[in-house]
């Protein structure tokens, strides 16, 4: 039996705007904590940004997610660097429960006829903009195709540093990878033409840490999801993870006490001298 048609205006039927661009694979590798490994080849250099509107807690949630290729325990997937959303109720419980790297963000996303607009603003700084048009046809390269069966794994990190803080390595819950496994079928894809602009921002340091080295592709992708599960996948080395524990807000961008670092650098992957992990 085929699925019932989506009612006009239904939020759950909105496509996701998927933006993809190449960067230096060494930049991606530098952002991966020890235990998450880079993926070789051209696929390992692609940054994927998704701008979306989905129903959460009975109302629309506008969000922007950023993922980079990475494997864990031999399984290829994508490491999530951050999910900016406009719904406060879903931010903190998501991070506490599942390690989902959410943070508050103003997200504009709409389609009006052939026009597609996306704009993302965090801490008063607009870091992403697109004002484009759809072609009405699927992209020729760089994206999924109608009818493709999707099987995807996304990696989050659940961790809690010890109460009281400090410089010594200590956790109340040592770092674990969370596996988000999703399956589905692509039901529609439309190419979007227009310049994707990533503005410099210390709070969302794409231009410093994941700069574009080639053209960006954009598409509206509608997927019918058939399965989704969230579960612990395994621990990370607590000492090796320590330099990656401090982030910008609720994201996984490297930070200093929750704020942007004084200089836009990534942490060293070396194991620190102290070993007081709980």
3-state secondary structure the chain: CCCCCCCCCCHHHCCEEEEEEECCHHHHHHHCCCCEECCCCHHHHEEEEEEEEEEECCEEEEEEEEEEEEEECCEEEEEEEEEEECCHHHHHHHHHHHCCCEEECEEEEEEECCEEEEEEEECCEEEEEEEEEECCCCCCCCCCCCCCEEEEEEEEEEEEECCCCCCCCCEEEEEEEEEEEEEEEEEEEEEEECCEEECCCCCCCHHHHCCCCCCCEEEEEEEEEEEEEEEEEEECCHHHHHHHCCEECCCCCECECEECCCCCCCCCCCCCCCCCCC
Residue 208 contacts residue 253 (beta carbons within 8 Å):
no
pLDDT of residue 270: 40
Token pair belonging to 144: 């999924």
Residue 160's nearest CA partner among 175, 145, 147 is 175
Given pLDDT bands bounded at 50, 70 and 90, which one contains residue 55? confident
Section 24-50 average pLDDT: 95
Assess whether pLDDT exceeds 70 at residue 275: no
* Confidence label for 276 from pLDDT (cuts 50, 70 and 90): very low
Read off the CATH number of the domain in which 66 is found: 2.40.400.10
Could you list the residue range(s) of the whole structural domain that residue 15 is in? Answer: 11-154+185-226
What pLDDT was estimated at residue 138? 83
Q: According to the model, what pLDDT value does residue 141 have?
A: 67
Cβ–Cβ < 8 Å for 175, 161: no
- Answer whether residue 208 is part of any domain: yes
Assess if residue 142 is contained within a domain.
Answer: yes
Q: What is the pLDDT of residue 269?
A: 55
To the nearest whole number, what is the mean pLDDT of the chain? 90
Q: Is residue 272 part of a domain?
A: no
Closest CA to 45 of 250, 214, 182, 231: 214
Residue whose structure tokens are 């239904």: 10
- pLDDT at residue 218 greater than cutoff 90: yes
Provide the phi-psi class of 203: left if phi over 0, else alpha when psi is between -120 and 50, else beta.
alpha
What pLDDT is recorded for position 212? 96
Going by their DSSP bridges, the two strands 36-37 and 75-85 should be labelled as unpaired
For residue 148, being part of any structural domain is answered with yes
Pairing of strands 102-104, 75-85: parallel
Nearest to 178 by CA among 229, 252, 242: 229
As a whole number of Å, the CA-based R_g of the chain is: 19
Q: What residues pair up with 247 in beta bridges, in sequence order? A: 254
Tokens of 19: 């933006």
Question: What's the pLDDT tens digit per position in 135-170?
Answer: 888 887 667 888 999 999 999 999 999 998 777 899
- Confidence check: pLDDT of 274 > 90: no
- Domain assignment present for 122: yes
Would you say residue 253 lies in a domain? no
Question: Mean pLDDT over residues 46-70, rounded?
Answer: 94
The percentage of the chain sitting over the pLDDT mark of 70, rounded to a whole number, equals 92
Q: What are the distances in angstroms from CA 199 to CA 95, 122, 126, 128?
A: 26, 11, 7, 6
Which two three-digit tokens encode residue 176?
């674990």
Q: Which residue has the tokens 């109608």?
A: 146
| Residue 59, pLDDT score | 85
User: Which pLDDT belongs to residue 1?
Assistant: 38
11 or 125, higher pLDDT? 125
Q: Is a pLDDT exceeding 80 seen at residue 5?
A: no
Q: What's the total number of domains in the chain?
A: 1
Q: Is residue 79 part of a domain?
A: yes
Residue 58: band (very low, low, confident or very high) from pLDDT cuts 50, 70, 90: confident
What pLDDT, on a 0 to 100 scale, did the predictor assign at position 143?
76
Structure confidence at residue 3 (pLDDT): 53
């Amino acid at each position: 039996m085929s699925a019932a048609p989506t009612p006009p205006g239904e939020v759950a039927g909105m496509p996701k705007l998927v933006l993809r661009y190449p960067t230096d694979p060494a930049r991606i590798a530098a952002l991966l904590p020890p235990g998450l490994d880079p993926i070789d080849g051209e696929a390992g250099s692609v940054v994927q940004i998704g701008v979306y509107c989905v129903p959460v807690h009975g109302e629309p949630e506008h969000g922007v997610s950023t993922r980079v290729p990475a494997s864990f325990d031999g399984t290829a997937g994508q490491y999530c660097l951050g999910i900016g959303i406009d719904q406060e109720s879903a931010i903190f419980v998501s991070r506490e429960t599942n390690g989902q790297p959410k943070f508050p963000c103003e997200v504009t996303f709409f389609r009006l006829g052939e026009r597609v607009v996306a704009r993302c603003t965090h801490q008063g700084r607009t870091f992403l903009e697109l004002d484009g048009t759809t072609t009405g046809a699927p992209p020729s390269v760089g994206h999924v195709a109608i009818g493709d069966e999707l099987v995807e794994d996304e990696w989050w990190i659940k961790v809690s540093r010890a109460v009281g803080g400090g410089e010594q390595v200590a956790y109340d819950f040592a770092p674990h990878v969370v596996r988000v496994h999703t399956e589905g079928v692509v039901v529609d894809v439309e190419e979007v033409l227009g310049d994707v602009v990533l503005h410099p921002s210390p709070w969302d340091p794409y231009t410093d840490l994941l700069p574009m080295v080639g053209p960006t592709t954009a598409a509206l992708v509608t997927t019918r999801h058939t399965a989704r599960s969230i579960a612990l996948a395994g621990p990370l080395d607590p000492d090796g993870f320590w330099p990656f524990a401090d982030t910008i807000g609720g994201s996984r961008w490297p930070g200093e006490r929750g704020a942007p670092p004084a200089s836009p650098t990534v942490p060293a992957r070396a194991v620190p001298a102290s070993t007081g992990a709980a």
